Amino acid sequence: MFKKILFIFFLSFVAATTACKGKQTELSEGKKIYEVHCAGCHGVKGDGNGPMAKYLFPKPRDLTAGIFKFRTTQGPVPADIDILQTLKVGVPGTSMPGWDVLKQQDWKNILAYVKTLSPRLAKGDAGKPIDLPEEPKNTGESVAGGKAIFGQAGCVACHGLSGKGDGPAAGSLKDVWGNPIIPRDLTKGPLKWGNAGRDIYRSLWNGVPGTPMPAYGNTYTGNQLWNLVHYLQSIQQKLPEGYDPSSPRRNLITVSEMSGLLPTDCENSAWQKAKVSPVFLKPLWFERGETEWIEVKALHNKKGIAFCLSWEDDQVNISPVASDAVALQFPIKKISEPVQLPFLGLGNAGNPVELWVWKPQSTQSFIAEGLGTQQSLSNEQPLQGNGVYKEGRWSVRITRNTAQLEPTGYLSFALWDADIPKPMGLHSFSEWMIYEMEGVPEK
């Protein structure tokens, strides 16, 4: 009997030791991910004071406070799935990118580490889920009811009469840390916690902790909140065709195969073969009038690659002093696992990126290992590019006829709109995305 008890104890000890080692591995690997990809904005300690924070508006969240904007729970502690949702899709209207390119184990690692930054998360348990009543039919009557509530609830003060984020109080709002913030334009782009009805409902029920956005769960009935959801959905502009802000496939760029020479402009009929990929941009420093989308087409002929990048811009700027511009960014080192990606903000020491930058005056390539380290590569594998501004829209073609890209790899995009003043050079950027070259077998 004693031997049996001893054996059971031994098994329990081994299981506990193995679990402990597994947890330590998750924390150490999660810390590595955080230090490369998150600490630049959120700070090494998670207090929101990373070296990039001074260039960002809205400011990065102080993770140590444990006050998270988005959750599906009634209490102050979000569920793990809520934290993961924010990490995966990012926060539209801010510089927080999504990281859907990571793998499942990477998510376990980063979640384990992020939870150690806040005592509330480390010790607290998530509260009960928000009660989500069945959604009634979306009708003209429900939309009208929601519009009335939009006025009664004081939404107009911040979000404005038409929901564009331009209410009379919009310029004076601050978060609980005293940082200025801005209400989201409810008519444009993906909303901060998702565009699905259930996501909007939960945001209304819970409010947005740490901001002036109040919770309405105890003020209005479930049916009234659904009416408000229907009204908000009625004023939203349609997202680009094929774009789902919650789907990992939003990060996929298809590079279609063609024969013959690559097109020399965006008017060439060869682009009809290319799939249009809408790419959502994140501002470093938000200003009204930001360009939120670029449309990307890509072609290759097994020797080189061409991109056609198109976006709306209400004012053309071609001055050498301050011009509109667009760029692509590629990791230089081969990436076998997504955690090996360089820092999104122009790479990091030992993990450089290559930039393909188009301006009306030139098309050049650079190498960088961090902010302010760009060095020209214009004499090596020269790029070709041209752009046309027509009817309020730029169309820019960038080609490299001797591109040596992997069949599948990573890239991101950046945009400069010269008529919108910024405290630093870069205006807006995309998440790391995945490109796939059709007709090229994996090596």
What confidence tens digit (pLDDT) does each residue in 78-134 have?
A: 999 999 999 999 999 899 999 999 999 999 999 999 999 998 888 878 889 999 999
Whole-number CA gyration radius for the chain: 24
CA distance 196 to 233: 9
- Residues pairing with 382 in the sheet: none
Q: Which residue has the tokens 């009809």?
A: 272
Same fold, 20-123 and 140-235: yes
Domain 248-437 sits in CATH 3.30.420.40:
no
State in Å, rounded, how far the first CA of the chain is from the last one.
59
Q: Please say whether the beta carbons of 294 and 310 come within 8 A.
A: yes
pLDDT digits (tens, 9 = 90+) for 12-36: 433 444 445 567 899 999 999 999 9
Torsion angle, CA of 86/200/70/173, rounded to 10 degrees? Answer: 110
Residue numbers in the chain where pLDDT is lower than 70: 1-22, 378-381, 422-426, 442-443
What count of other Cβ atoms lies within 10 Å of the Cβ of residue 440?
15
CA dist 349 and 376 (Å) reads 17
| pLDDT at 22 (0 to 100) | 67
CB burial string 175-208: b at 16+ within 10 A, e below = beeebebbbbbbebbbbbbbbebebbbbbbbbeb
Helix intervals (H) in 93-193: 104-116, 119-123, 140-152, 155-159
Phi-psi region of 54 (alpha: psi -120 to 50; beta: other; left: phi over 0): alpha
Check if the beta carbon of residue 41 is closer than 8 Å to that of residue 50. Answer: yes
> Quick one: tokens of 195?
């565009």
- Please check whether residue 195 is in contact with residue 245, taking contact to mean a CB–CB distance below 8 angstroms: yes
Q: What is the pLDDT at residue 76?
A: 84
Question: Which tokens in the block code for residue 298?
Answer: 């890509």
Burial call 399-418: b when 16+ CB within 10 Å, e when fewer: bbeebebeeebbbbbbbbbb
Which pLDDT belongs to residue 194?
Answer: 86
Q: Does the predicted model carry a pTM greater than 0.95?
A: no
Predicted pLDDT of residue 274? 95
Q: Please name the fold of domain 140-235.
A: Cytochrome Bc1 Complex; Chain D, domain 2 (1.10.760)
Query: Is residue 370 within 8 Å of 300, Cβ to Cβ?
Result: no
Domain formed by 20-123, architecture: Orthogonal Bundle (1.10)
pLDDT of residue 253: 97
> Residue ranges of the domains in the chain?
20-123, 140-235, 248-437
- pLDDT value for 170: 94
